[in-house]
Amino acid sequence: MPNILVTGSSGQLGSELQELHQSYPQFSFLFTDRETLDITDKAAVESTCKRNNITHIINCAAYTAVDKAEEEQQSADTINHIAVQYLAEVAAKQHISLIHISTDYVFDGTSCTPYIESDATNPQGIYGKTKLDGENALLRAHPSNSIIIRTSWVYSSFGNNFVKTMLKLGKERDTLNVVYDQIGTPTYAADLAMLILDILPHIPKETVSIYHYSNEGVCSWYDFTKAIFEFSNISCRVDPIESKEYPTAAKRPNYGVLNKNKIKNHYNIVIPYWHDSLQRCLKQIEVKKQ
């Protein structure tokens, strides 16, 4: 039976994997977070993997505070780069398959067509740079049967995220300003979690491959917010603004749409449309309130 180590299990994706794991009795899971496994301690990672006979690692751990990363560069690098290097080196040494989650922020957002996996990277902030450094460290360590999945705009019924923030603000305010000139695709973490577990037994042998995954469709943050309010019957008015009217410490990509043909064709999967996934997530949020 495959023994799967999940890091960052208290985050959005890790929590969705925990929610799903009973539906995959063919796998044995070890869920860890920063309290139970310090992935910046290579010796701790080595001993944990060896002691539990780990065959697969799903690395959900990440420093994701995009603006804060501009000030806390060392912290972001330690989690997004150095820890990934340690995981990859341990995976290569112990013949463990590694699934690592990365981001559309490795691109500069200047494209006008969806990014494919081989497009040139050019991160514009510390978060994207450290995530790209983590990707490159993994590629250098080259653990067999491993993949990098770049995703975008992740949200969930767990943790803090854009959907939950908008639900809260929409109920507190009469109007809300949201940027309309940043384009991408929301990704429901539950869909990504299910994809990972479905493809895990079929990862290509002896390679490290990069794939892109998000839900289907394209929208702006303004469109995303409008849909959240429409599906939740929230009457707050949403006004579109330009990014320059909402300055942030870190520059966001103006265009982060990912081309998913590679993962769809390789694994013969159908990806849900973001509207449909958003409605499913909103229902889950409501269920958890009861």
* CATH code of the domain in which 39 resides: 3.40.50.720
Domain containing 89 equals 3-160+185-216+257-272
Three-state DSSP class for residue 179: strand
213 in catalytic set: no
Query: Is a pLDDT exceeding 80 seen at residue 4?
Result: yes
Assigned domain for 35 exists: yes
Query: Is a pLDDT exceeding 90 seen at residue 204?
Result: no
Assigned domain for 246 exists: no
Q: For the segment 233-260, what is each residue's pLDDT rounded down to a tens digit?
A: 999 999 999 999 988 998 899 999 999 9
Query: Is a pLDDT exceeding 80 seen at residue 290?
Result: no
Query: Is a pLDDT exceeding 80 seen at residue 231?
Result: yes
**pLDDT at res. 141:** 95
Instruction: Give the whole-angstrom CA distance, residue 229 versus residue 248.
Output: 24
Assigned domain for 237 exists: no
For residues 166 and 226, is the Cβ–Cβ distance under 8 A? no
Q: For the chain, how big is the Rg over CA atoms in Å? A: 19
Three-state DSSP class for residue 102: strand
Assigned domain for 235 exists: no
**pLDDT at res. 166:** 97
Confidence of residue 288 (pLDDT cuts 50, 70, 90): confident
**Neighbour tally for 124: CB within 10 Å:** 18
Q: What number is the average pLDDT over the span 60-80?
A: 97
Assigned domain for 261 exists: yes
**Neighbour tally for 198: CB within 10 Å:** 12
Instruction: Give the whole-angstrom CA distance, residue 40 versus residue 18.
Output: 22
**pLDDT at res. 209:** 95
Instruction: Give the whole-angstrom CA distance, residue 221 versus residue 254.
Output: 11
Assigned domain for 137 exists: yes
Give the type of residue at 34: R
- Count: domains in the chain: 1
Instruction: Give the whole-angstrom CA distance, residue 184 versus residue 169.
Output: 22
Q: For the segment 134-171, what is each residue's pLDDT rounded down to a tens digit?
A: 999 999 999 989 999 999 999 999 999 999 999 999 99
Instruction: Give the whole-angstrom CA distance, residue 46 versus residue 91.
Output: 9
Structure tokens at 275: 């509207």
For residues 236 and 168, is the Cβ–Cβ distance under 8 A? no
Q: What percent of the chain has pLDDT over 70?
A: 100
Assigned domain for 85 exists: yes
Assigned domain for 244 exists: no
Instruction: Give the whole-angstrom CA distance, residue 219 versus residue 224.
Output: 6
Confidence of residue 207 (pLDDT cuts 50, 70, 90): confident
Q: What number is the average pLDDT over the span 68-94?
A: 98
What is the chain's mean pLDDT, rounded? Answer: 96
The whole model's pTM is what?
0.97
Query: Is a pLDDT exceeding 80 seen at residue 94?
Result: yes
Catalytic-labelled residue, pool 105, 127, 155, 255: 127
